[in-house]
Amino acid sequence: MKNLLLLLSIVLLFTSCESKKGQKRIFLDSNGRMNHLLIVMDNSRWSGEVGAKLKEIIMTPVLGMPQQENQFGVSQIPEISFGKMFKASRNILIVSLDSVNNFQSKKNIYAKPQQIIKITGTSEEKLVEMLELYQEQMIRSFKEFDIQNIQKSHIKNSYFETSFKTLNNLGLEMVIPKFFKKVDDTGEFLWLRQRLSGGIAKGDGTSNILVYSVPIPKSKKNLVKIISNMRDTIGKKYIPGSQENMYMVTEKLYTPRVFRTKMDEKPCYVTYGKWDLLNDFMAGPFLNYVIEDVKNNRWIVVEGFVYAPSVEKRDYMFELEAVLKTIHLK
């Protein structure tokens, strides 16, 4: 009898183990806003040289904003406080001393979706070196992770591929969430708008998407001027103000910043700048992507711009970036 009970116990133990192995792991839902980091780091280190270097990296101002806004919001806790509640955070950066100098990037450890980066150094001097060495990779990892999560959330409630004449005529696909509504869709020019509300002094603000194409210019010697003039021409033709001779232009007092990059595996210029309404007081930031479609001798232009006076605009612009980056040339 004892042997039988022992045998049954062993069978139950192995059955239980196999059942647990076969179970799909259940994750907590992560929490936290886009562009926000939970930094796990001892208080003394946060207020010292290592913390100063980290703040310099993560609090770099976002390009093109009317007022300074840092690229990340930050919460900091010491390692001893890193318990269950904080482990459910979406974006976590751990900086600590260890026996090795190391950079690790992992996803979905304590919750989902979650991005965790851990940077260790054998001394505070080495930690500063590691932060400098991996700063671009660190920022890119958190930004791309947030972009991907925004894009995934948009797929569930987006327009059909054939919803807009301009995209069809230009041979384009985009994942556009349905909270953007059509303002204009001529077949050559598309303008979509999302109404923003809450905390905006002069009525509701707006978040906007533009799509169009122009011929590739013969010369690209002064890209800032070429892209600014292109935007001004489109603004005059399609984006009027409330009265005659009012239309959107590139603000002349702020020189736009142009960088070469890639979009949809094609050469692209990305421009960060400010727009304003000629002969009026409306203004805000814009983000413009010019994709080179050499085969068809054209630039495909996708742009996002925001009007949201008296409130921070970083996250609105970041959400626009996530939408714009879904562009695909068929």
Split at pLDDT 50, 70, 90, the class of 10 is very low
- Per-residue model confidence (pLDDT) at position 28: 83
Split at pLDDT 50, 70, 90, the class of 139 is very high
Q: What percent of the chain lies above the pLDDT cut of 90?
A: 83
Per-residue pLDDT at 122 exceeds 70:
yes
Express each pLDDT in 19-47 by its tens digit.
Answer: 345 556 677 889 999 999 999 999 999 99
**What is the CATH code of the structural domain delimited by 28-155?**
3.30.379
User: What is the value of pTM for the model shown?
Assistant: 0.89
- Per-residue model confidence (pLDDT) at position 144: 97
112 alpha-carbon distance from chain centroid: 18
Placement of tokens 């978040």 in the chain = 207
**What is the CATH code of the structural domain delimited by 165-329?**
3.40.1000.10
Radius of gyration of the chain (CA): 25
Shortest CA distance to 248 belongs to which of 237, 259, 262? 237
Do 28-155 and 165-329 show the same overall fold? no
Per-residue pLDDT at 203 exceeds 70:
no
Express each pLDDT in 287-328 by its tens digit.
Answer: 999 999 999 999 999 999 999 988 999 999 999 999 999 999
For the segment 175-181, the average pLDDT, to the nearest whole number, is 97
Express each pLDDT in 103-120 by its tens digit.
Answer: 999 999 999 999 999 999
Per-residue pLDDT at 2 exceeds 70:
no
Q: What percent of the chain lies above the pLDDT cut of 70?
A: 91
Per-residue pLDDT at 167 exceeds 80:
yes
Q: Give residue limits of the domains in the chain.
A: 28-155, 165-329
